[in-house]
Structure formats: C-alpha cells, structure tokens
Amino acid sequence: MSPVKTAPARLTAGDAALRAQYLDEVLRLLYPEPCTTRGRSPLVTEYVVVPDSRRPRLLVPTRSRRIAAAAVRRYAEPQSRIARLKRDAVVAALRTPGAAAVLLRHRVRICGPAGDTIDGYLREALGTDLAVSVHIGPARANRKPVLQLIAPDGETLGFAKLGTGPLTRRLVRAETTALSALSHVGLRDVTVPRVLHTGEWRGHQVLVQSPLPVWKTRAALTPDRLTAAMREVAGCCGTSRSWLATSPYWAELRDRLDAVADRPEGATLGVAAKSLVERGGDVDLRYGAWHGDWAPWNMATLADTLLVWDWERFTTGVPLGFDAVHYELQRRIQSTSDAEAAVEATLGVSAALLEPFEVTGAAARLTALLYLVDLAARYLADRQAEAGARLGVLGTWLLPVLVRRIEGLS
C-alpha cells in the first residue's frame, strides 16, 4: 500500500463532528479496556491529533520527532498545492524542537497495560519494533482504521487495515484475496502492494500491506499511460464475451439489485436497470477485471510504473472499461460541488474513454450506463446514506441522470 487516501470533499461541520465521534470509537477499538485516555500511568502511547481534536484527521505518535514527521509526510497523497504546503508545514513543526508543543497542542495519552493492544499485536506479527500512526477518515460506510507502521528510523514498514464490521471485514478479506491474485499475474505497467501479514485480532480482520515507493521522483500522468495501465488490469485475469442479458455479470448484478429493492432508491434503480437490459440485452460485450475504485487519490505516477493502491473493490467479469469511466467521474466530482453535472459530463465523454478498450457504439453507451447502475448498487448495499457519506443519497445526483439517460435510449 501507500499513503492512505485523502477525501476530496470539503470538511463540513457535520463531517467534523462525525470524525470526532469516530476518533473515540477508533481509540476504544485499538486500545480496549482497561486502557484509558484519562489515566496517568503506565503510559502505553501518546498521539498528537492533527490538525486538532475538533477536526481529527491523523493521530501522530510522539515517540520521536523522526517518527512523527514520517507519519505526516507519508500518510496521504495531497491533491493540491495548498494541501502539500499544509502537510509540509506540519512536518516542519514536528521536526522542530518545541514547535509541535505550541502549534499542535491537542494530545491523546493512552494509559494502562501494554498487553492486548494493536501496537503489540503488530509488533509480534511482523517481528519488529514499530510505532503506529492512525488515519481518521471521513464518514463512509466502508470507513475502517488504517494504520501506518513506522520503524524507529522513520521508515514506513507497511500499512494495516482493520475490518471491524460485516462490510469492512468483507472488504479487507477481498483486498487480501485481490493482492494475492495480482502478485501472480505479472503486471508490467502497474505496481501493487504485497501482502505482509493477514490474520485476526480481537475478532477484527487484519491486512498488512507493503508500502509503495511514493517518495520516488514523480512523472506526469498522460492519458495514454493511464489507459494502458487500466487495459492491463482489465485483461490480467482473462476476458470473455457474451450478450448482456445472458451474461454472468448481469445475473450477479441483478441479485445485488434485488437485495436493495426494498428501499425507494433501490426500487427506482432496479426498474431503470431492467429497462436498460430490455433495450440493450442483445448487445455483445467483453468482460474483464477492474480495480473498482481507481481514482486520482489512489495512485501515483513514476517514470517506469503507476503505483496503485486500495484494491478492496477489485472484481473480475465486469464490462471492459469500467475503471476508465469511474476515474473520470471521480476526477470531476473532486473538482466540482455539482455531482449531477459531473455524471452528465462523464457520460458525455464516455465514448472517447471506452474506445481504447475497443468498446464502441451501442456497447459504449451501454457500458457507461451499466457502470452507473453498478456504482449505485454498491452505494445502496453499503448503506452510504445512513453512514453520512457526502454523496450517499443517490436521488440528489446519480439516479436522476441515470433514469433520464435510459429513458432517452432508442
């Protein structure tokens, strides 16, 4: 893995409150009773809360200035110049004696027995000394503790994910399976993390991944390089061809739609999807693999390879080109507050996005709309709206466009 993703959404007051609440939940998970944040001794560990306890994004271990600076420097991929400057300012403060105490005053002290904590489990699992830095993500149904594991010399040893509920346990297991499979297919244009450890701790699913070398000199990402990498992933497990209506893909998607049909948005989505298949069921499609969440914040470009992480949604047997459409939609959503317009704009360029995958004409129109159905089914199954995700309510952005476009098909 590499630095964890930064949310493209702006931090709202509601999200700040949810982050603060989640901070307490994470601390109770990683340091279960009798550990406490109100005791005095013995001290298990201490964290600086960045930027503060009202808007927690990162817990930085205070064990040493070198470890603290490394925790911030490699925790995320800044998506703008301002974000990079803010990160560098925090790193400078942590490296400067006395500065962190003045500028980063919010601390969390964990006191109690040092036995059954996540730090101890990971040290034993990896057989080495390490410190843990904790990422506090935005509200999402698939939010899970993501830990950066740092050696005493400041080197990043790996990243650990904890699946703590039914959905996140399934996703962590899925990523473990995906990374294991991808390690055997001989990717040339894409570099993925290696599995360093997998297991269970206190009923939570654990996956430790190797760090990707994001510290190396970056190269410009060209459309041709991105497309070539996505095509390589699409074909890495083989491809197949069939009509949509008789494909294993539609059978699996139909089951997913039936599972959410008891909700109003799910019922609307199911009707739209069936209408789409009635209109395009006899279109011949090719099927392959996709990353499942290939977005600007899940990758980095080097001169000789693309570093890509977060493979928990990797799936085989989907229409070719899904990754290209997803990337474009996420890129547009990141740069605008009008998600509905982002969907429309993405559909407007979908033919050009899919042409390099040899998906053209009716197949291209069908593939782009199927991608939206697939994404919407995921949001509903994960209950993103109930989790407070910014785009969790599909009726405000995705469903209206999807229904309009399907009704407009000849």
Q: Among candidates 22, 26, 5, 4, which has minimal Cα distance to 14?
A: 22
Q: Are 132 and 108 in contact (CB under 8 A)?
A: no
Cα 205 from chain centroid?
Answer: 17
- What the chain holds in terms of domains, given with CATH numbers, is 9-209 (3.30.200.20), 223-408 (3.90.1200)
The pLDDT, as a whole number, for residue 16 is: 63
pLDDT single digits (tens) 164-195: 999 999 999 999 999 999 999 999 999 999 99
The average pLDDT across 72-78 equals 71
Cα 387 to Cα 375: distance, rounded to the nearest angstrom:
17
Task: Dig out the tokens for 395 from the structure.
Answer: 């009726």
Q: What is the pLDDT of residues 237-264, one digit of tens each?
A: 999 999 999 999 999 999 999 999 999 9
Q: Where are the alpha helices (DSSP H) in 50-95?
A: 65-73, 81-95
Q: For residue 102, what pLDDT is reported? A: 45
- CA nearest to 409, candidates 319, 243, 269, 279: 279
DSSP letters spanning 313-366: T-EEEEETTHHHHHHHHHHHHHT-S-HHHHHHHHHHHHHHHHGGGT--HHHHHH
Q: Is the pTM of this model over 0.85?
A: yes
Q: Which has the higher per-residue pLDDT, 66 or 349?
A: 349
Give residue-wise pLDDT tens across range 321-345: 999 999 999 999 999 999 999 999 9
Q: Cβ neighbours of residue 146 under 8 Å, at least 6 residues apart?
A: 4, 134, 135, 137, 159, 160, 161, 162
pLDDT per residue over 357-409, tens digit each? 999 999 999 999 999 999 999 999 999 999 888 899 999 999 999 999 999 99
